[in-house]
Every structure is written in structure tokens, then in C-alpha cells.
Amino acid sequence: MSLPSTVELCDVGPRDGFQFEDQFIPTDLKVELITALADAGLPRIQVTSFVHPEWVPQMKDAEDVCKRLPERNDVTYAGLALNQKGLERANAAGLSHVDLSVATHDQHSRDNANMTVDEAVAQAEDMVRYAHGHGIQAQMGFQTVFGYQEPEDTPLDQVVEMAQHFAEMEVESISLADSTGMAHPRMIKERVRAVQAAIGDTPLVLHLHDTRGLGLANVYAALQCGVDRFDTSLAGMGGCPFIDGATGNIATEDTVYLLDGLGVETGIDRTAVGRASGRIESFLGKQFPGKLHRLLQRSGAEAASV
């Protein structure tokens, strides 16, 4: 079975990973790590989210982070916006790419955003129109696509309908999130293929959490369906403050190791990513789930076996 020859990874650690930490990560260090990821070859980085600092204090410096990002033509900087105010802040901060996100499971939508899925979709439609009107490329992400309270309790027909609707609104891409980490390879193939059939040429992205240890197995299943864009996170950082037990995203360096072994090009130096992972672990004084960067740290050098 043929796999994509190249894959694009987006490191969401500076947003999805950092937001989960209680200890404030200084703006200087955030910019240092984002720069390190860019230097390692990450073509896209989710650098922050524009949310109220009362709810996510870690993101209170969103504008300062954006202001201090190094200018470069080989990296796309994106920010997460969950409502109109956040989108306007992202625009004012100078970001040309935003990631929008809505729930696909009604209970999750109520728990997370205090609105129904239909209400969230209506809000997202207005945000896409705003993005189009201001020259912003918008990725539309769907949460808990593979299950919220139990596997596959999110209706697939609803996911497909929503994906088709926003593809017709000409968003930059559609992202499917395994927010709870409930997905397994069979489910990945079934749901990915159903969405692919509905969105045509609109690029598809997978955002996978590794809660049950199947993150990289799910990457391989998605590759077999032709998916060539994935969200990852340095050191496997992340989680979801609104989902009990949700752990981090698939680790960037671990994913690159898998793709390198499959002969799939990413243009990413996994050793350089590993150094960035070690830096944030050292600062926070804790260990994250990713594996490859720990091998690097134990070796004390950039050994050929890493």
C-alpha cells in the first residue's frame, strides 16, 4: 500500500502543550522554543491561543509572543481562536493563519463552550467569513470526532455534514481531532475516508492525542488513507483541561522517527526537536510522554542511533 511521499507536521506544543502547564512559561522561553522548532524544520507552528487569561493564564502573553516571532518565509505561524474576539485579536497580532475549532458532540460543546453544536457552527460560520474578509487563512478543526464519553459516540454523519459544509465555505483545511485519545486504526480509517469523500480537494489534518498509546498506530492508519498533514507536539506535551484523563499529543520527534523509517519526508531534524523538548522539560522539572528525546538526553550526545 503506497504512502504519501511527504508529510507536513504542525507542532502545536507552544499552544496545546504549554496551556496545560500551571507554571507560567516566560515569554522569552516560549519564543526561544518556537524559534528552535522553526530551526529544526517545522513548516507550521501553532504559537499561541487567543483566549481569556482568566480561563487560560498561560496564554496571557499571546500578543507579546506574536510580536517577537522571528520573521521567516519557511514557517507558517498559526494561532487558535475560539470566538470572534479571539479571532480579532489574532488578526490585530498580525497572524495570517488561524485555527478555529468547534465540538462535534453536543454534550462536549455544552461542557466546553456552553452552547449547542448548532450554535457553535453558526458562530464558526461568522468567524470564517471574517477571516475571508481580512485575508486570513482559516483551518476549521472539529473536536472529539472519534468519541467523547465513549468511543464513536460522536455521530459520524454529523461530522461528515459539518466537514462538507465548511469545505464548501473554502476554509484552508479541515482538521479532525481525537481529543480524548479514544481512536484506534479501524476507526481512523472509517472516519477519515468518510470525511475525505465529503470534502474533495480540501486538505485534511489529523490532531491525535496519545491517551491510550495508539497515537503512532493511528498515524500509520491515516497514512494508508493518504493523509499527509498531522499535528504533533514537542515531547508529547499537551492534554485538555476540559477532558479528564486526556494526555498529550503525539510527540513530534517520535512521529518524525516513524516517518523517517517509512521513507516519508518531513524535512524535520528530530534531534533538534529533541533538544527543544529537553529544554522545556528542564525548565518545568517534569517528564513528558515522548520517548525519543529521552534517549537523546541519556546518550548525552547526538548519537547516530537516535
Q: How many domains does the chain fold into?
A: 1
Catalytic residue among 10, 66, 225, 240: 240
Is 1 a member of any domain? no
Is 306 a member of any domain? no
pLDDT(301) > 50? no
Q: Which pLDDT score, from 0 to 100, does residue 246 have?
A: 60
Torsion sign over Cα 263, 34, 170, 239: positive
Q: What is the CATH number of the domain that holds 111?
A: 3.20.20.70
Is 171 a member of any domain? yes
Condensed to tens digits (0 to 9), the pLDDT of residues 205-238 reads: 999 999 999 999 999 999 999 999 999 999 999 8
Domain assignment of residue 131, given as a range: 8-299
Is 74 a member of any domain? yes
Is 3 a member of any domain? no
Is 179 a member of any domain? yes
**pLDDT > 90: percent of the chain:** 86
240 is catalytic: yes
Q: How far apart are CA 197 and CA 223, in angstroms?
A: 16
Task: Give mean pLDDT, residues 185-189.
Answer: 98
